[in-house]
Protein backbone atom coordinates (compact mmCIF):
# COMPACT_ATOMS: atom_id res chain seq x y z
CA UNK A 1 0.00 0.00 0.00
CA UNK A 2 1.34 3.41 -0.98
CA UNK A 3 0.07 5.00 2.24
CA UNK A 4 1.98 2.44 4.36
CA UNK A 5 5.17 3.16 2.44
CA UNK A 6 4.70 6.91 2.86
CA UNK A 7 4.18 6.50 6.60
CA UNK A 8 7.28 4.28 6.86
CA UNK A 9 9.32 6.76 4.85
CA UNK A 10 8.28 9.57 7.18
CA UNK A 11 9.03 7.45 10.26
CA UNK A 12 12.42 6.22 9.02
CA UNK A 13 13.62 9.07 6.79
CA UNK A 14 12.00 12.11 8.34
CA UNK A 15 9.55 14.61 6.90
CA UNK A 16 9.56 16.36 3.54
CA UNK A 17 11.31 13.63 1.54
CA UNK A 18 10.62 14.50 -2.12
CA UNK A 19 8.33 12.24 -4.16
CA UNK A 20 6.62 12.61 -7.51
CA UNK A 21 2.82 12.83 -8.01
CA UNK A 22 -0.13 13.44 -5.67
CA UNK A 23 -0.31 9.70 -5.14
CA UNK A 24 3.33 8.52 -5.45
CA UNK A 25 3.99 5.32 -7.38
CA UNK A 26 5.89 2.34 -6.05
CA UNK A 27 8.03 1.17 -8.95
CA UNK A 28 9.22 -2.42 -8.71
CA UNK A 29 10.61 -3.27 -12.15
CA UNK A 30 11.97 -1.66 -15.29
CA UNK A 31 12.81 -2.83 -18.80
CA UNK A 32 13.68 -0.62 -21.77
CA UNK A 33 11.39 2.42 -21.80
CA UNK A 34 8.88 0.74 -19.44
CA UNK A 35 8.37 0.72 -15.69
CA UNK A 36 5.97 -1.41 -13.63
CA UNK A 37 4.41 -0.56 -10.29
CA UNK A 38 3.67 -2.91 -7.42
CA UNK A 39 0.16 -3.56 -8.76
CA UNK A 40 1.51 -4.62 -12.15
CA UNK A 41 0.56 -1.39 -13.97
CA UNK A 42 2.90 -0.50 -16.81
CA UNK A 43 4.13 3.06 -17.43
CA UNK A 44 5.94 4.60 -20.37
CA UNK A 45 8.90 6.38 -18.78
CA UNK A 46 9.20 9.78 -20.45
CA UNK A 47 11.18 11.48 -17.71
CA UNK A 48 14.15 9.32 -16.87
CA UNK A 49 17.55 10.44 -18.08
CA UNK A 50 19.30 8.11 -15.64
CA UNK A 51 18.23 4.93 -17.43
CA UNK A 52 19.82 6.39 -20.54
CA UNK A 53 19.96 3.09 -22.48
CA UNK A 54 16.62 1.94 -21.14
CA UNK A 55 16.01 0.30 -17.78
CA UNK A 56 18.15 -2.71 -16.87
CA UNK A 57 20.05 -2.80 -20.15
CA UNK A 58 21.44 -6.37 -20.27
CA UNK A 59 24.95 -5.30 -21.36
CA UNK A 60 25.31 -2.99 -18.34
CA UNK A 61 23.77 -5.54 -15.98
CA UNK A 62 26.23 -8.14 -17.28
CA UNK A 63 29.24 -5.78 -17.01
CA UNK A 64 28.35 -4.86 -13.42
CA UNK A 65 27.78 -8.49 -12.41
CA UNK A 66 31.01 -9.75 -14.02
CA UNK A 67 33.17 -7.03 -12.47
CA UNK A 68 31.47 -7.30 -9.06
CA UNK A 69 32.23 -11.03 -9.10
CA UNK A 70 35.90 -10.37 -9.92
CA UNK A 71 36.99 -7.30 -7.97
CA UNK A 72 35.58 -4.16 -6.46
CA UNK A 73 37.62 -2.03 -4.12
CA UNK A 74 38.70 1.53 -3.40
CA UNK A 75 40.64 3.48 -5.97
CA UNK A 76 44.22 3.64 -4.64
CA UNK A 77 45.36 0.44 -6.36
CA UNK A 78 46.35 0.49 -10.00
CA UNK A 79 43.50 -0.76 -12.16
CA UNK A 80 43.17 -0.68 -15.93
CA UNK A 81 39.40 -0.21 -15.93
CA UNK A 82 39.54 3.47 -14.97
CA UNK A 83 42.20 4.19 -17.61
CA UNK A 84 40.35 2.33 -20.35
CA UNK A 85 37.22 4.28 -19.52
CA UNK A 86 38.82 7.73 -19.30
CA UNK A 87 40.55 7.10 -22.62
CA UNK A 88 37.23 6.27 -24.28
CA UNK A 89 35.38 9.12 -22.59
CA UNK A 90 37.87 11.87 -23.33
CA UNK A 91 38.01 10.62 -26.93
CA UNK A 92 34.49 12.06 -27.22
CA UNK A 93 35.66 15.61 -26.40
CA UNK A 94 37.45 18.31 -28.35
CA UNK A 95 39.06 21.51 -27.03
CA UNK A 96 41.92 19.58 -25.38
CA UNK A 97 39.50 18.23 -22.73
CA UNK A 98 41.68 15.16 -22.36
CA UNK A 99 41.88 14.38 -18.63
CA UNK A 100 39.25 13.38 -16.10
CA UNK A 101 38.50 12.74 -12.45
CA UNK A 102 35.94 10.04 -11.66
CA UNK A 103 33.41 10.70 -8.90
CA UNK A 104 30.07 9.18 -7.83
CA UNK A 105 27.53 11.97 -8.35
CA UNK A 106 26.85 15.14 -10.31
CA UNK A 107 27.09 17.13 -7.07
CA UNK A 108 30.62 15.92 -6.42
CA UNK A 109 31.60 16.59 -10.03
CA UNK A 110 30.38 20.18 -9.74
CA UNK A 111 32.07 20.61 -6.39
CA UNK A 112 35.40 19.60 -8.00
CA UNK A 113 34.74 21.92 -10.96
CA UNK A 114 34.26 24.91 -8.62
CA UNK A 115 37.54 24.12 -6.92
CA UNK A 116 39.27 23.83 -10.31
CA UNK A 117 38.18 27.38 -11.16
CA UNK A 118 39.44 28.58 -7.82
CA UNK A 119 42.76 26.70 -8.19
CA UNK A 120 43.42 28.13 -11.66
CA UNK A 121 42.48 31.72 -10.88
CA UNK A 122 43.39 31.98 -7.21
CA UNK A 123 40.03 33.78 -6.81
CA UNK A 124 36.82 32.63 -5.13
CA UNK A 125 33.96 34.40 -6.96
CA UNK A 126 31.38 32.15 -8.65
CA UNK A 127 28.42 32.89 -10.90
CA UNK A 128 25.37 30.77 -11.73
CA UNK A 129 21.87 31.52 -13.01
CA UNK A 130 19.06 32.66 -10.74
CA UNK A 131 16.88 29.61 -11.41
CA UNK A 132 18.95 26.46 -11.31
CA UNK A 133 20.13 23.37 -9.49
CA UNK A 134 23.68 22.05 -9.58
CA UNK A 135 23.59 19.60 -6.67
CA UNK A 136 23.81 19.24 -2.95
CA UNK A 137 27.27 19.62 -1.47
CA UNK A 138 27.41 22.81 0.62
CA UNK A 139 29.51 24.65 -1.97
CA UNK A 140 27.34 23.57 -4.89
CA UNK A 141 24.10 24.17 -3.01
CA UNK A 142 25.15 27.83 -2.88
CA UNK A 143 24.69 27.86 -6.65
CA UNK A 144 21.28 26.23 -6.48
CA UNK A 145 18.31 28.48 -6.07
CA UNK A 146 15.45 26.26 -4.95
CA UNK A 147 16.14 26.61 -1.25
CA UNK A 148 18.24 29.60 -0.19
CA UNK A 149 21.00 28.70 2.29
CA UNK A 150 20.50 29.44 5.98
CA UNK A 151 22.03 32.86 6.52
CA UNK A 152 21.56 33.76 2.83
CA UNK A 153 23.85 33.32 -0.16
CA UNK A 154 27.52 33.89 0.61
CA UNK A 155 29.15 37.04 -0.83
CA UNK A 156 31.37 35.12 -3.28
CA UNK A 157 28.33 33.76 -5.15
CA UNK A 158 26.29 35.84 -7.64
CA UNK A 159 23.17 34.85 -9.53
CA UNK A 160 22.37 36.23 -12.97
CA UNK A 161 18.95 36.18 -14.69
CA UNK A 162 18.58 32.92 -16.61
CA UNK A 163 17.35 32.86 -20.18
CA UNK A 164 13.61 32.37 -20.05
CA UNK A 165 10.68 32.74 -22.41
CA UNK A 166 8.93 34.79 -19.70
CA UNK A 167 10.17 37.59 -17.38
CA UNK A 168 12.67 38.72 -16.16
CA UNK A 169 14.59 38.21 -19.44
CA UNK A 170 12.10 37.14 -22.13
CA UNK A 171 12.19 38.58 -25.65
CA UNK A 172 14.14 37.23 -28.62
CA UNK A 173 16.92 34.75 -27.96
CA UNK A 174 19.44 37.07 -29.63
CA UNK A 175 18.48 39.86 -27.22
CA UNK A 176 18.57 37.41 -24.30
CA UNK A 177 22.07 36.29 -25.30
CA UNK A 178 23.25 39.91 -24.96
CA UNK A 179 21.27 40.48 -21.74
CA UNK A 180 22.64 37.28 -20.22
CA UNK A 181 26.23 38.32 -21.02
CA UNK A 182 25.55 41.79 -19.58
CA UNK A 183 24.28 40.15 -16.36
CA UNK A 184 27.47 38.08 -16.14
CA UNK A 185 29.63 41.19 -16.75
CA UNK A 186 27.80 43.04 -13.93
CA UNK A 187 28.23 40.12 -11.56
CA UNK A 188 31.97 39.96 -12.34
CA UNK A 189 32.31 43.67 -11.55
CA UNK A 190 30.48 43.17 -8.24
CA UNK A 191 32.68 40.20 -7.30
CA UNK A 192 35.80 42.16 -8.08
CA UNK A 193 34.58 45.24 -6.20
CA UNK A 194 33.80 43.07 -3.16
CA UNK A 195 37.35 41.64 -3.18
CA UNK A 196 36.38 38.05 -4.10
CA UNK A 197 37.60 38.25 -7.69
CA UNK A 198 36.07 36.06 -10.39
CA UNK A 199 36.86 32.34 -10.60
CA UNK A 200 34.17 30.87 -12.84
CA UNK A 201 30.70 30.71 -14.33
CA UNK A 202 28.81 27.43 -13.94
CA UNK A 203 25.92 26.67 -16.25
CA UNK A 204 24.10 23.95 -18.13
CA UNK A 205 24.62 24.61 -21.85
CA UNK A 206 20.90 24.14 -22.61
CA UNK A 207 19.73 25.59 -19.26
CA UNK A 208 17.85 22.36 -18.52
CA UNK A 209 16.79 23.14 -14.96
CA UNK A 210 15.89 26.69 -15.94
CA UNK A 211 13.20 25.27 -18.25
CA UNK A 212 15.20 24.50 -21.42
CA UNK A 213 14.35 27.89 -22.92
CA UNK A 214 15.37 26.84 -26.45
CA UNK A 215 18.76 28.55 -26.71
CA UNK A 216 20.59 27.60 -29.90
CA UNK A 217 24.03 27.82 -31.53
CA UNK A 218 25.76 31.11 -30.82
CA UNK A 219 23.79 31.89 -27.66
CA UNK A 220 26.85 31.71 -25.46
CA UNK A 221 29.24 33.72 -27.68
CA UNK A 222 28.82 37.11 -25.94
CA UNK A 223 29.02 35.48 -22.49
CA UNK A 224 32.14 33.49 -23.37
CA UNK A 225 33.82 36.71 -24.45
CA UNK A 226 32.94 38.42 -21.15
CA UNK A 227 34.22 35.47 -19.07
CA UNK A 228 37.44 35.15 -21.07
CA UNK A 229 38.17 38.88 -20.82
CA UNK A 230 37.83 38.64 -17.05
CA UNK A 231 40.14 35.59 -16.84
CA UNK A 232 37.52 33.22 -15.37
CA UNK A 233 36.65 29.62 -16.28
CA UNK A 234 33.52 28.27 -17.94
CA UNK A 235 32.25 25.27 -16.02
CA UNK A 236 29.76 23.35 -18.08
CA UNK A 237 27.30 21.14 -16.20
CA UNK A 238 26.39 18.41 -18.71
CA UNK A 239 24.61 16.21 -16.17
CA UNK A 240 21.40 16.52 -18.20
CA UNK A 241 22.33 17.15 -21.86
CA UNK A 242 25.39 14.88 -21.97
CA UNK A 243 25.90 11.53 -23.72
CA UNK A 244 23.94 12.34 -26.85
CA UNK A 245 20.65 13.32 -25.26
CA UNK A 246 20.44 16.45 -27.47
CA UNK A 247 20.67 14.32 -30.64
CA UNK A 248 22.70 16.66 -32.82
CA UNK A 249 25.84 16.19 -30.71
CA UNK A 250 27.32 14.15 -27.86
CA UNK A 251 27.48 17.22 -25.61
CA UNK A 252 25.31 20.27 -25.06
CA UNK A 253 28.27 22.65 -25.41
CA UNK A 254 28.98 21.20 -28.87
CA UNK A 255 25.40 21.85 -29.87
CA UNK A 256 25.49 25.45 -28.62
CA UNK A 257 29.01 25.90 -30.02
CA UNK A 258 31.38 26.96 -27.28
CA UNK A 259 34.51 25.62 -25.60
CA UNK A 260 34.21 25.09 -21.84
CA UNK A 261 37.25 24.77 -19.57
CA UNK A 262 35.62 22.09 -17.43
CA UNK A 263 32.73 19.70 -18.15
CA UNK A 264 30.87 17.81 -15.43
CA UNK A 265 28.95 14.59 -16.00
CA UNK A 266 26.61 12.39 -13.99
CA UNK A 267 23.14 10.91 -14.17
CA UNK A 268 23.05 8.98 -17.50
CA UNK A 269 26.73 8.06 -17.38
CA UNK A 270 26.40 4.45 -16.19
CA UNK A 271 22.70 3.82 -16.80
CA UNK A 272 21.71 4.06 -13.14
CA UNK A 273 24.93 3.04 -11.39
CA UNK A 274 26.19 6.12 -9.48
CA UNK A 275 29.02 7.49 -11.61
CA UNK A 276 30.08 11.07 -12.37
CA UNK A 277 33.15 12.71 -13.86
CA UNK A 278 34.94 16.01 -14.34
CA UNK A 279 36.63 16.40 -17.71
CA UNK A 280 39.15 19.16 -18.29
CA UNK A 281 42.37 20.29 -19.96
CA UNK A 282 45.77 19.18 -18.60
CA UNK A 283 46.65 22.73 -17.46
CA UNK A 284 43.46 22.99 -15.37
CA UNK A 285 43.95 19.49 -13.97
CA UNK A 286 47.54 20.29 -13.04
CA UNK A 287 46.49 23.42 -11.12
CA UNK A 288 43.73 21.49 -9.33
CA UNK A 289 45.96 18.54 -8.38
CA UNK A 290 48.63 20.95 -7.18
CA UNK A 291 46.15 22.79 -4.96
CA UNK A 292 43.98 19.90 -3.73
CA UNK A 293 45.39 16.46 -4.62
CA UNK A 294 41.98 14.75 -4.46
CA UNK A 295 41.03 11.23 -3.53
CA UNK A 296 37.58 9.70 -3.86
CA UNK A 297 37.13 6.26 -2.27
CA UNK A 298 34.43 5.04 -4.63
CA UNK A 299 34.91 7.37 -7.62
CA UNK A 300 36.17 5.28 -10.53
CA UNK A 301 36.03 1.94 -8.72
CA UNK A 302 36.25 -1.13 -10.99
CA UNK A 303 32.49 -1.82 -11.01
CA UNK A 304 31.60 1.81 -11.74
CA UNK A 305 34.06 1.95 -14.62
CA UNK A 306 32.77 -1.33 -16.06
CA UNK A 307 29.21 0.03 -15.93
CA UNK A 308 30.24 3.34 -17.49
CA UNK A 309 32.26 1.68 -20.25
CA UNK A 310 29.39 -0.66 -21.13
CA UNK A 311 27.07 2.36 -21.25
CA UNK A 312 29.35 4.25 -23.63
CA UNK A 313 29.66 1.20 -25.87
CA UNK A 314 25.92 0.63 -26.03
CA UNK A 315 25.31 4.28 -26.97
CA UNK A 316 27.65 3.74 -29.94
CA UNK A 317 26.65 0.18 -30.87
CA UNK A 318 22.92 0.88 -30.82
CA UNK A 319 23.21 4.26 -32.59
CA UNK A 320 21.38 5.97 -29.75
CA UNK A 321 22.57 9.50 -30.57
CA UNK A 322 21.18 9.10 -34.09
CA UNK A 323 17.98 7.69 -32.59
CA UNK A 324 17.68 10.72 -30.31
CA UNK A 325 18.09 12.98 -33.33
CA UNK A 326 15.59 11.17 -35.55
CA UNK A 327 12.89 10.17 -33.08
CA UNK A 328 13.38 13.50 -31.30
CA UNK A 329 12.66 15.46 -34.48
CA UNK A 330 9.63 13.26 -35.24
CA UNK A 331 8.22 13.66 -31.71
CA UNK A 332 8.83 17.42 -31.66
CA UNK A 333 7.00 17.88 -34.91
CA UNK A 334 4.02 15.95 -33.54
CA UNK A 335 4.12 17.92 -30.27
CA UNK A 336 4.05 21.16 -32.23
CA UNK A 337 0.78 19.93 -33.72
CA UNK A 338 -0.86 19.86 -30.27
CA UNK A 339 -3.35 22.67 -29.80
CA UNK A 340 -4.54 24.20 -26.56
CA UNK A 341 -5.05 27.85 -25.65
CA UNK A 342 -2.56 27.56 -22.76
CA UNK A 343 0.33 26.13 -24.81
CA UNK A 344 2.71 29.08 -25.05
CA UNK A 345 5.70 27.27 -26.53
CA UNK A 346 6.87 23.77 -27.53
CA UNK A 347 10.59 23.15 -27.88
CA UNK A 348 13.20 20.44 -27.79
CA UNK A 349 16.64 19.16 -28.62
CA UNK A 350 16.95 15.48 -29.50
CA UNK A 351 15.04 13.51 -26.86
CA UNK A 352 14.61 16.47 -24.49
CA UNK A 353 11.31 18.35 -24.79
CA UNK A 354 9.46 21.13 -23.03
CA UNK A 355 5.85 22.27 -23.43
CA UNK A 356 5.28 25.58 -21.69
CA UNK A 357 1.86 26.60 -20.36
CA UNK A 358 1.14 30.33 -19.97
CA UNK A 359 -1.72 32.78 -20.43
CA UNK A 360 -0.72 36.27 -21.55
CA UNK A 361 2.73 35.84 -20.03
CA UNK A 362 1.43 34.36 -16.75
CA UNK A 363 2.78 30.84 -16.10
CA UNK A 364 0.08 28.18 -15.64
CA UNK A 365 1.60 26.03 -12.96
CA UNK A 366 -1.57 24.30 -11.69
CA UNK A 367 -2.59 23.41 -15.21
CA UNK A 368 0.83 21.88 -15.88
CA UNK A 369 0.57 19.89 -12.65
CA UNK A 370 -2.82 18.55 -13.68
CA UNK A 371 -1.44 17.44 -17.06
CA UNK A 372 1.35 15.52 -15.29
CA UNK A 373 -1.19 13.80 -12.99
CA UNK A 374 -3.54 12.99 -15.88
CA UNK A 375 -0.65 11.50 -17.87
CA UNK A 376 0.32 9.32 -14.94
CA UNK A 377 -3.27 8.10 -14.67
CA UNK A 378 -3.01 7.10 -18.35
CA UNK A 379 0.31 5.28 -17.86
CA UNK A 380 2.83 7.95 -18.88
CA UNK A 381 5.42 9.41 -16.50
CA UNK A 382 6.38 13.06 -17.06
CA UNK A 383 7.99 15.82 -14.99
CA UNK A 384 7.84 19.60 -14.76
CA UNK A 385 10.33 22.43 -14.67
CA UNK A 386 10.55 26.22 -14.98
CA UNK A 387 10.43 29.16 -12.56
CA UNK A 388 6.80 28.35 -11.76
CA UNK A 389 6.95 24.62 -12.56
CA UNK A 390 4.75 25.40 -15.55
CA UNK A 391 6.73 23.57 -18.24
CA UNK A 392 6.25 19.88 -19.02
CA UNK A 393 9.65 18.20 -18.99
CA UNK A 394 10.09 15.10 -21.12
CA UNK A 395 13.37 13.23 -21.34
CA UNK A 396 12.74 9.53 -22.09
CA UNK A 397 15.37 6.81 -22.26
CA UNK A 398 17.38 7.05 -25.49
CA UNK A 399 15.97 3.96 -27.28
CA UNK A 400 12.58 5.76 -27.36
CA UNK A 401 10.88 4.66 -30.59
CA UNK A 402 8.55 6.39 -33.05
CA UNK A 403 5.76 4.22 -31.64
CA UNK A 404 6.58 5.38 -28.09
CA UNK A 405 6.58 9.00 -29.31
CA UNK A 406 3.16 8.50 -30.93
CA UNK A 407 1.79 7.04 -27.71
CA UNK A 408 3.13 10.02 -25.73
CA UNK A 409 1.76 12.67 -28.07
CA UNK A 410 -1.61 10.95 -28.60
CA UNK A 411 -2.02 10.71 -24.83
CA UNK A 412 -1.14 14.39 -24.37
CA UNK A 413 -3.61 15.26 -27.11
CA UNK A 414 -6.40 13.31 -25.39
CA UNK A 415 -5.59 14.93 -22.02
CA UNK A 416 -5.48 18.47 -23.41
CA UNK A 417 -8.80 18.00 -25.21
CA UNK A 418 -10.43 17.15 -21.87
CA UNK A 419 -8.86 20.05 -19.96
CA UNK A 420 -10.48 23.44 -20.51
CA UNK A 421 -8.21 26.49 -20.36
Closest listed residue to residue 156, CA positions, set 131, 121, 182:
121
Nearest CB to ligand PMP, comparing residues 113 and 416: 113
Beta bridge partners of 273: 271
Residue nearest to ligand PMP (CB): 106
- Are the C-beta atoms of residues 120 and 161 closer than 8 Å to each other? no
- Distance from chain centroid for Cα 60: 21
- 251 near ligand PMP, rule: CB under 6 A: no
- 354 near ligand PMP, rule: CB under 6 A: no
Q: Which long-range contacts (CB under 8 A, 24 or more apart) does 58-62 make?
A: 59/310, 59/313, 59/314, 60/270, 60/271, 60/272, 60/273, 60/307, 60/310, 60/311, 60/314, 62/310
Tell the smallest beta-carbon distance from residue 237 to ligand PMP (Å).
5
- Are the C-beta atoms of residues 373 and 25 closer than 8 Å to each other? no
Restricting to residues 187-226, which ones interact with ligand PMP according to CB under 6 A? Answer: 204, 208-209
x/- letters, 94..123, toward ligand PMP (CB under 6 A): -----------xxx--x-------------
**Binding-site member from 85, 133, 258, 400 for ligand PMP (CB under 6 A):** 133
Strands 380-381 and 383-385: unpaired
Options 30-38, 129-137, 336-344, 354-362: segment touching ligand PMP (CB under 6 A): 129-137
Tell the smallest beta-carbon distance from residue 298 to ligand PMP (Å).
13
**Binding-site member from 239, 372, 375, 394 for ligand PMP (CB under 6 A):** 239
Tell the smallest beta-carbon distance from residue 137 to ligand PMP (Å).
8
Please report the beta strands in 262-406, taking only residues with DSSP state E, as ranges in sequence order.
262-265, 276-280, 343-349, 352-359, 362-363, 380-381, 383-385, 391-394
**Binding-site member from 121, 124, 145, 240 for ligand PMP (CB under 6 A):** 240
Angle at 32 (CA atoms; ends 357, 207), nearest 5 degrees? 35
The contact set with ligand PMP (CB under 6 A) reads 105-107, 110, 133-135, 204, 208-209, 237, 239-240, 266-267
Amino acid sequence: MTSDLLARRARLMGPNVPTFYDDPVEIVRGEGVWLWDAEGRRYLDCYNNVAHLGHCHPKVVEAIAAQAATLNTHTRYLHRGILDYIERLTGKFGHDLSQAIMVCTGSEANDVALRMAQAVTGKTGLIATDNTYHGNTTAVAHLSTRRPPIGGYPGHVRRVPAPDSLAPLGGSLAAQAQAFAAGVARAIEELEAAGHGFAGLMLCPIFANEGTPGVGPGFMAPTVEVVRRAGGLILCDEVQPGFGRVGAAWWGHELIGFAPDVVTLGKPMANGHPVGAVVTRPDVMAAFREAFGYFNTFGGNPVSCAAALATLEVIEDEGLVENAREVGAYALEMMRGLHHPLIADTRGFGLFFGIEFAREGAPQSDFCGRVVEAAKARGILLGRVGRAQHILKMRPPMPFSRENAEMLVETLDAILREMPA
